[in-house]
Amino acid sequence: DIVLTQAPLSVSVTPGESASISCRSSKSLLSSKGITSLYWYLQRPGKSPQLLIYQMSNLASGVPDRFSSSGSETDFTLKISKVETEDVGVYYCGHRLEYPLTFGSGTKLEIK
Amino acid sequence: EVQLVESGGSLVQPGGSLKLSCVASGFTFSNYWMDWVRQTPGKSLEWIGEINTDGSKTNYAPSIKDRFTISRDNAKSTLYLQMSNVKSDDTAIYYCTRLGARDYWGQGVMVTVSS
Protein backbone atom coordinates (compact mmCIF):
# COMPACT_ATOMS: atom_id res chain seq x y z
CA ASP A 1 0.00 0.00 0.00
CA ILE A 2 1.07 3.59 -0.62
CA VAL A 3 1.88 5.35 2.63
CA LEU A 4 1.20 9.08 2.85
CA THR A 5 3.03 10.91 5.63
CA GLN A 6 1.78 14.32 6.67
CA ALA A 7 3.57 17.03 8.63
CA PRO A 8 3.18 18.75 10.93
CA LEU A 9 0.71 16.95 13.19
CA SER A 10 -0.85 20.29 14.02
CA VAL A 11 -0.37 23.93 13.14
CA SER A 12 -1.55 27.07 14.89
CA VAL A 13 -2.03 30.11 12.69
CA THR A 14 -2.91 33.76 13.25
CA PRO A 15 -5.82 34.90 11.06
CA GLY A 16 -4.50 36.55 7.93
CA GLU A 17 -1.23 34.62 8.01
CA SER A 18 -0.33 31.69 5.79
CA ALA A 19 -0.03 27.99 6.59
CA SER A 20 1.64 25.11 4.79
CA ILE A 21 1.04 21.39 5.18
CA SER A 22 3.29 18.72 3.76
CA CYS A 23 2.39 15.29 2.41
CA ARG A 24 5.03 12.77 1.37
CA SER A 25 4.22 9.63 -0.57
CA SER A 26 6.08 6.31 -0.37
CA LYS A 27 5.65 5.94 -4.12
CA SER A 28 5.39 8.25 -7.11
CA LEU A 29 1.79 9.38 -7.61
CA LEU A 30 2.34 10.20 -11.28
CA SER A 31 0.08 8.01 -13.36
CA SER A 32 0.75 6.62 -16.80
CA LYS A 33 -1.66 9.24 -18.11
CA GLY A 34 0.54 12.03 -16.78
CA ILE A 35 -1.85 12.89 -13.93
CA THR A 36 -0.57 13.24 -10.38
CA SER A 37 -3.13 11.47 -8.25
CA LEU A 38 -2.90 13.52 -5.07
CA TYR A 39 -5.96 14.98 -3.34
CA TRP A 40 -6.42 17.30 -0.37
CA TYR A 41 -9.41 17.30 1.97
CA LEU A 42 -10.61 19.42 4.86
CA GLN A 43 -12.73 17.97 7.62
CA ARG A 44 -14.28 20.70 9.70
CA PRO A 45 -15.30 19.82 13.27
CA GLY A 46 -18.33 17.54 13.26
CA LYS A 47 -18.56 17.48 9.47
CA SER A 48 -17.77 15.09 6.64
CA PRO A 49 -14.54 15.57 4.70
CA GLN A 50 -14.74 17.90 1.73
CA LEU A 51 -12.50 17.93 -1.31
CA LEU A 52 -10.24 20.96 -1.64
CA ILE A 53 -7.75 19.99 -4.35
CA TYR A 54 -7.80 17.23 -6.97
CA GLN A 55 -4.98 15.88 -9.15
CA MET A 56 -2.38 17.72 -7.09
CA SER A 57 -3.09 21.29 -8.12
CA ASN A 58 -6.68 21.73 -9.27
CA LEU A 59 -9.04 23.66 -7.03
CA ALA A 60 -12.31 21.83 -6.38
CA SER A 61 -15.57 23.61 -7.13
CA GLY A 62 -16.49 26.28 -4.62
CA VAL A 63 -13.11 26.25 -2.85
CA PRO A 64 -11.64 29.73 -2.38
CA ASP A 65 -8.41 30.49 -4.21
CA ARG A 66 -6.66 31.05 -0.90
CA PHE A 67 -5.99 27.32 -1.15
CA SER A 68 -3.29 26.07 -3.48
CA SER A 69 -1.22 22.93 -3.88
CA SER A 70 1.98 21.99 -5.60
CA GLY A 71 4.59 19.29 -5.58
CA SER A 72 6.63 16.69 -7.33
CA GLU A 73 5.85 13.01 -7.83
CA THR A 74 6.25 12.20 -4.14
CA ASP A 75 6.35 15.43 -2.15
CA PHE A 76 3.42 17.79 -1.93
CA THR A 77 2.48 21.00 -0.16
CA LEU A 78 -0.90 22.51 0.56
CA LYS A 79 -0.72 26.24 1.15
CA ILE A 80 -3.44 28.27 2.73
CA SER A 81 -3.03 32.02 2.27
CA LYS A 82 -4.67 34.54 4.55
CA VAL A 83 -6.07 31.93 6.93
CA GLU A 84 -9.60 32.53 8.14
CA THR A 85 -11.43 31.10 11.14
CA GLU A 86 -13.53 28.90 8.82
CA ASP A 87 -10.34 27.06 7.79
CA VAL A 88 -10.17 25.33 11.18
CA GLY A 89 -10.24 21.55 10.99
CA VAL A 90 -8.18 18.56 9.99
CA TYR A 91 -6.52 18.44 6.58
CA TYR A 92 -5.90 15.11 4.90
CA CYS A 93 -4.03 14.19 1.78
CA GLY A 94 -5.08 11.12 -0.18
CA HIS A 95 -4.25 9.34 -3.41
CA ARG A 96 -6.28 7.53 -6.07
CA LEU A 97 -3.41 6.08 -8.07
CA GLU A 98 -4.01 2.43 -7.30
CA TYR A 99 -5.87 0.12 -4.96
CA PRO A 100 -6.19 0.50 -2.10
CA LEU A 101 -6.76 4.23 -1.96
CA THR A 102 -5.08 5.58 1.17
CA PHE A 103 -5.03 8.79 3.18
CA GLY A 104 -2.53 10.63 5.32
CA SER A 105 -3.00 10.75 9.08
CA GLY A 106 -4.13 14.36 9.06
CA THR A 107 -2.91 17.80 10.12
CA LYS A 108 -4.98 19.80 12.55
CA LEU A 109 -5.18 23.52 11.88
CA GLU A 110 -6.05 25.77 14.79
CA ILE A 111 -6.42 29.50 15.05
CA LYS A 112 -4.22 31.42 17.48
CA GLU B 1 -28.54 19.20 -5.04
CA VAL B 2 -26.59 15.99 -4.60
CA GLN B 3 -27.38 14.18 -1.37
CA LEU B 4 -26.09 10.93 0.09
CA VAL B 5 -27.91 9.72 3.18
CA GLU B 6 -26.60 6.72 5.07
CA SER B 7 -28.56 4.60 7.51
CA GLY B 8 -28.32 1.31 9.35
CA GLY B 9 -25.60 2.10 11.83
CA SER B 10 -25.90 0.55 15.28
CA LEU B 11 -24.23 -1.38 18.07
CA VAL B 12 -23.30 -4.88 16.96
CA GLN B 13 -21.53 -7.70 18.77
CA PRO B 14 -18.17 -9.03 17.60
CA GLY B 15 -18.73 -11.71 14.98
CA GLY B 16 -22.10 -10.26 14.05
CA SER B 17 -23.41 -8.76 10.84
CA LEU B 18 -24.82 -5.43 9.78
CA LYS B 19 -26.01 -3.86 6.53
CA LEU B 20 -25.61 -0.18 5.83
CA SER B 21 -27.61 1.67 3.20
CA CYS B 22 -27.02 4.92 1.35
CA VAL B 23 -29.79 6.61 -0.59
CA ALA B 24 -28.58 8.95 -3.30
CA SER B 25 -30.46 11.84 -4.87
CA GLY B 26 -29.78 14.84 -7.05
CA PHE B 27 -27.87 12.96 -9.73
CA THR B 28 -28.22 9.94 -12.00
CA PHE B 29 -27.02 7.28 -9.57
CA SER B 30 -26.58 4.59 -12.21
CA ASN B 31 -23.95 6.68 -14.03
CA TYR B 32 -21.42 6.76 -11.19
CA TRP B 33 -19.04 4.47 -9.38
CA MET B 34 -19.62 4.67 -5.65
CA ASP B 35 -17.28 4.15 -2.70
CA TRP B 36 -17.43 3.52 1.04
CA VAL B 37 -14.87 5.21 3.32
CA ARG B 38 -14.68 4.88 7.10
CA GLN B 39 -13.14 6.90 9.89
CA THR B 40 -12.19 5.27 13.14
CA PRO B 41 -12.56 7.29 16.36
CA GLY B 42 -9.82 9.89 16.52
CA LYS B 43 -8.09 8.38 13.54
CA SER B 44 -7.69 8.95 9.86
CA LEU B 45 -9.74 7.90 6.89
CA GLU B 46 -9.73 4.39 5.46
CA TRP B 47 -11.04 3.46 2.04
CA ILE B 48 -13.18 0.35 2.17
CA GLY B 49 -14.04 -0.29 -1.45
CA GLU B 50 -15.96 0.69 -4.54
CA ILE B 51 -18.51 -0.59 -7.00
CA ASN B 52 -18.95 0.15 -10.67
CA THR B 53 -22.04 1.60 -12.29
CA ASP B 54 -23.99 -1.61 -12.89
CA GLY B 55 -22.75 -3.45 -9.84
CA SER B 56 -20.80 -6.05 -11.77
CA LYS B 57 -17.38 -5.07 -10.46
CA THR B 58 -16.09 -4.29 -7.01
CA ASN B 59 -12.71 -3.51 -5.49
CA TYR B 60 -11.95 -3.79 -1.79
CA ALA B 61 -9.28 -2.82 0.69
CA PRO B 62 -7.28 -5.87 1.81
CA SER B 63 -8.14 -5.17 5.45
CA ILE B 64 -11.83 -5.94 4.94
CA LYS B 65 -11.85 -8.21 1.92
CA ASP B 66 -14.04 -11.30 2.28
CA ARG B 67 -15.87 -9.79 5.27
CA PHE B 68 -17.55 -6.81 3.65
CA THR B 69 -19.61 -6.72 0.44
CA ILE B 70 -20.60 -3.65 -1.53
CA SER B 71 -23.70 -3.78 -3.71
CA ARG B 72 -26.18 -1.38 -5.27
CA ASP B 73 -29.74 -1.15 -6.49
CA ASN B 74 -29.86 1.41 -9.28
CA ALA B 75 -33.66 1.29 -9.42
CA LYS B 76 -33.70 2.52 -5.82
CA SER B 77 -30.62 4.76 -6.13
CA THR B 78 -29.24 2.94 -3.13
CA LEU B 79 -25.76 1.75 -2.23
CA TYR B 80 -25.20 -0.98 0.36
CA LEU B 81 -22.41 -2.21 2.59
CA GLN B 82 -22.92 -5.70 4.04
CA MET B 83 -20.62 -6.21 6.99
CA SER B 84 -19.99 -9.72 8.31
CA ASN B 85 -17.86 -11.21 11.09
CA VAL B 86 -17.30 -7.71 12.44
CA LYS B 87 -14.44 -6.94 14.80
CA SER B 88 -13.84 -4.21 17.35
CA ASP B 89 -11.51 -2.55 14.81
CA ASP B 90 -14.53 -2.04 12.55
CA THR B 91 -15.91 0.53 15.00
CA ALA B 92 -16.04 3.69 12.91
CA ILE B 93 -18.11 6.26 11.11
CA TYR B 94 -18.96 4.93 7.66
CA TYR B 95 -19.30 7.35 4.77
CA CYS B 96 -20.97 6.75 1.45
CA THR B 97 -19.06 8.70 -1.18
CA ARG B 98 -19.03 9.62 -4.84
CA LEU B 99 -15.39 10.36 -5.55
CA GLY B 100 -14.23 12.38 -8.49
CA ALA B 101 -13.06 15.84 -9.45
CA ARG B 102 -16.11 16.85 -7.48
CA ASP B 103 -16.53 14.65 -4.41
CA TYR B 104 -19.72 14.07 -2.53
CA TRP B 105 -19.82 12.54 0.95
CA GLY B 106 -22.74 11.52 3.09
CA GLN B 107 -23.08 12.67 6.67
CA GLY B 108 -21.79 9.32 7.89
CA VAL B 109 -23.28 6.62 10.07
CA MET B 110 -21.81 5.23 13.28
CA VAL B 111 -21.10 1.53 13.70
CA THR B 112 -19.98 0.33 17.13
CA VAL B 113 -18.69 -3.20 17.56
CA SER B 114 -18.76 -4.22 21.19
CA SER B 115 -20.02 -6.98 23.43
Helix (H, G, I), strand (E, B) or coil at B8: coil
Phi, psi of B22 (to 5 degrees): -140, 115
Count Cβ atoms within 10 A of the Cβ of residue A102 and give its class: 0-12 exposed, 13-18 middle, 19 or more buried. buried
- The residue type of B45 is L
Q: What is the pLDDT of residue B101?
A: 84
Region B44-63 average pLDDT: 96
Hey, are the CB atoms on B108 and A55 less than 8 Å from each other?
A: no
Shortest CA distance from B44: residue in chain A: A105
For residue A51, list chain B residues with Cβ-Cβ distance below 8 A: 102-103
Three-state SS across chain A?
CCCEEEECCEEEECCCCCEEEEEEECCCCECCCCCECEEEEEECCCCCCEEEEECCCEECCCCCCCEEEEECCCEEEEEECCCCHHHCEEEEEEECCCCCCCECCCEEEEEC
Tell me which residue in A51, A102, A105 faces B103 most closely, judged by beta carbons: A51
Percent residues over pLDDT 70 in chain B: 100
Helix (H, G, I), strand (E, B) or coil at B12: strand
CA distance A63 to chain B (A): 11
Separation CA B16–CA B85 (nearest Å):
5
For residue A60, list chain B residues with Cβ-Cβ distance below 8 A: 101-103
Give residues 42 to 61 of B whose Cβ lies within 8 Å of A.
43-47, 59-61
Q: Given pLDDT bands bounded at 50, 70 and 90, which one contains residue A55?
A: very high
Phi, psi of B77 (to 5 degrees): 50, 45
CB-CB contact of A25 with A74 (8 Å)? yes
Q: What is the pLDDT of residue B84?
A: 98
CA distance B101 to chain A (A): 6
Q: Is A51 on the interface with B (CB under 8 A)?
A: yes
Omega into A100 within 30° of 0, i.e. cis? yes
Tell whether the model's pLDDT for residue B23 goes beyond 80: yes
Separation CA A22–CA A8 (nearest Å):
7
